[in-house]
Structure 1
């Protein structure tokens, strides 16, 4: 999982030149080629995704296993965040890749409406129906046709905390929002700021809001707001902003106050809690925080750094919200038969288990054994994702037009930054959000 959401525009350009492409081979080295049917021997499948580094390496292990099973050679293309632009330019140039891992439902829908995608093969949709909650198939479906298979997921309903700081304050992880505020004040009274909030970019603030809103208003209202079927001035939005403002507006709960939070980027928000000289006790973001803790900060997840589910708000249920990457087959790809077989393979528990063992991965496939995940914390994330079933909701801003939900310095990102700066102005924040949403959704 990338450490922040992609900011690709939903207006996919066909004529922009492709840049920043890094290629590598995923030819089968994971097991003996004789182990599979070799039905695709001599064929090549090109696969594009935003993944780099360890994510790319681990996905190539999955591609290697596909090669060993089928004989097909695979080529991986790293797109960077400009996935939409690259895919469009490749199609325009007659050099379309075969499979693309799409990180936003809005981009997937745009691709489908452009006529770029092949419907998934019946064997794939049948596997998805058997082993995935229906919400995942719905996310990959446009106008009644399923085009996307979600292979990798993220749980963004997780609050991380410095175990020593909570122990010093004499408090336990909270079960609900009111308890969360009490824990934060107890930590503050013990001499450590409560929350390090990453407000510099804006995207973590959308995740804060989405968790509060999903729990407080419920999945049906969440869906309506996602589609802009209700305005951002709706009483349910006012209530959620008021609730969030109780945390944002309390100087005892925010490290550096709102001004400091607005200058804190995502990596710094994690470092302020788990670095050599902690400035705060808790931070909020998704399961991918664990990669920063163990990789960059060399701390042990589950010991130095612990996590609890985002707490339930009022009488609602604890939210489970997140993201994911869906495999789609391009209509203009050179090898659609092998491409469909690859996506069918990605729908199997065997494919997901390869990456699950390596870490940094969650699967929405409920046939994947939790025991295969490398540690208790990751198992906790995966179980929460599976147990949520159809109550899971995809990141709201990732489903919105990019002009509203995915652009730094404008739309929802900027409006929530302004709200963080002045949490008392709930109505003003709602009015700005509605004006920007109306403009973007009409566009």
Structure 2
């Protein structure tokens, strides 16, 4: 407790120096007031993938920053193709000041193109005080820290309807085989076991990554993520074979493979938590809760809950994460204000603003868990923070965008093809290796 208190005070001191805060309370989230208004008259433009409720809630963070510093803020939603949109804005002389980068591979590409400004000393000190080393690693390129992970995702959560599992008489499983067995029992009770969002290829990469991390272990996961290990490796074929057992089982997937390929992520959540449920479970990250709550009125912890993605073949239960890293562009017109924004985002205070709004997890270990609005979110946040350096970042997000982050291409497309026909894992592995080799050379 003393160590945590000392760290929190250190980060608060850094915040005071950076933002002119006059006080920093230890008993809960810090208020956003008390700034020096030193950035009055400046405007910070922030680009990111967020839209809808995510954009609305991030705007609350930006408003807290404005209240503190006097700077105005403008958020621009890029859609999924962040690298293309930001690249065109830079070429057109209209670069944003800050970009919330959702993929490690894109962050690396930005750094290699010379687009990024290293994080300030104050931000680096806050990262050292508030984050596990793994987040520093994923935010760095060639030893230089460019990215601050503000929003994280816990992608090792399986969400379920408590009523559906209770009706089937099954409890949350702890192994992958138990999960499939429980799925058959749910199916026998009248609902499909899983809703799968096959229309969105990124959800399929998440399925694969959880299985692979648990089954093959973290060393091979890291090697495959960096393409030091070929996708034709026996460990990849084994993981695809394990995933294929689910994909080809007509009892387990709502509507079968064809319907899964026509179901997007929000639709997959609706099939479990909507007004006419078709399945008992849906695998995806903690952000499932936001859709279940905001779109379908579910009470998290009562009629929507989760269990950790279960261990596969005797391995450790996986903790796969994703996240959005804030970076400062060299070509932005307001670098001073942009730097101050990142110094703010690195603090527990900034994280608390979105945590209180909901639909958010922070990798900031000094954020008071009481900031989260419900016990389930607190549990997922605690699980992510407690995992420390054993967290592994979403593998597809570490890859070049051409392989791991492009709709209708690369890993997304190949795993959709595998969902359509999971009969030949070796052929799928060969296709993945060919696509990866091309993307990494590029």
* Fold conserved between structures, TM > 0.5: yes
Q: CA deviation at 1:32?
A: 10
How do 1:24-103 and structure 2 match up within 5 A? Answer: 35-103=34-102
SS at match of 1:316: coil
1:9 aligned residue: none
1:368 aligned residue: 367
1:290 aligned residue: 289
**Contact 2:147 2:325 (8 Å CA) reproduced:** yes
CA distance in 1, matches of 2:179, 2:31: 52
CA distance in 2, matches of 1:82, 1:253: 32
**Contact 1:33 1:67 (8 Å CA) reproduced:** no
* 1:330 is aligned to 2:329: yes
Q: CA deviation at 1:308?
A: 0.9
CA RMSD, aligned part only?
A: 1.9
1:14 aligned residue: none
**Contact 1:32 1:68 (8 Å CA) reproduced:** no
2:159 aligned residue: 160
2:138 aligned residue: 139
**Contact 2:32 2:349 (8 Å CA) reproduced:** no
Q: CA deviation at 1:256?
A: 2.3
How do 1:342-381 and structure 2 match up within 5 A? Answer: 342-381=341-380
CA distance in 2, matches of 1:354, 1:103: 20
* Cα 1:95–1:195 shift into 2, 3 Å: closer
CA distance in 2, matches of 1:62, 1:239: 44
1:25 aligned residue: none
Aligned length: 413
SS at match of 1:35: coil
2:273 aligned residue: 274
Q: 418-427 or 232-241, which moves further after superposition?
A: 418-427
**Contact 1:46 1:74 (8 Å CA) reproduced:** yes
Q: 390-399 or 341-350, which moves further after superposition?
A: 390-399
Flag as ranges the 4+ runs of structure 1 deviating above 4 A.
31-34
CA distance in 1, matches of 2:90, 2:203: 33
CA distance in 1, matches of 2:289, 2:430: 36
Q: CA deviation at 1:65?
A: 2.0
SS at match of 1:329: strand
SS at match of 2:36: coil
**Contact 1:403 1:440 (8 Å CA) reproduced:** yes
How do 1:105-144 and structure 2 match up within 5 A? Answer: 105-144=104-143
**Contact 2:106 2:400 (8 Å CA) reproduced:** no
CA distance in 1, matches of 2:115, 2:355: 30
CA distance in 2, matches of 1:95, 1:233: 43
SS at match of 2:170: coil
How do 1:182-197 and structure 2 match up within 5 A? Answer: 182-197=181-196
Q: CA deviation at 1:127?
A: 0.9
SS at match of 1:328: strand
Q: CA deviation at 1:379?
A: 0.9
2:441 aligned residue: 442
CA distance in 2, matches of 1:94, 1:191: 58
* Cα 1:82–1:424 shift into 2, 3 Å: closer
SS at match of 1:153: strand
CA distance in 2, matches of 1:55, 1:225: 31
Q: CA deviation at 1:278?
A: 1.8
SS at match of 1:365: coil
1:38-80 per-position Cα deviation (integer Å, ceiling 9, x unaligned): 3333433222222223222222222222223223332333333
CA distance in 1, matches of 2:59, 2:44: 13
1:7-59 per-position Cα deviation (integer Å, ceiling 9, x unaligned): xxxxxxxxxxxxxxxxxxxxxxxx99982233333433222222223222222
1:396 aligned residue: 395
* Cα 1:111–1:69 shift into 2, 3 Å: same
Q: 306-315 or 242-251, which moves further after superposition?
A: 242-251
SS at match of 2:46: strand
2:405 aligned residue: 406
**Contact 2:290 2:358 (8 Å CA) reproduced:** no
2:147 aligned residue: 148
Q: 294-303 or 324-333, which moves further after superposition?
A: 294-303
1:315 aligned residue: 314
1:169 aligned residue: 168
CA distance in 2, matches of 1:338, 1:322: 29
How do 1:6-25 and structure 2 match up within 5 A? Answer: none
1:198 aligned residue: 197
Q: CA deviation at 1:110?
A: 1.2
Q: CA deviation at 1:94?
A: 2.9
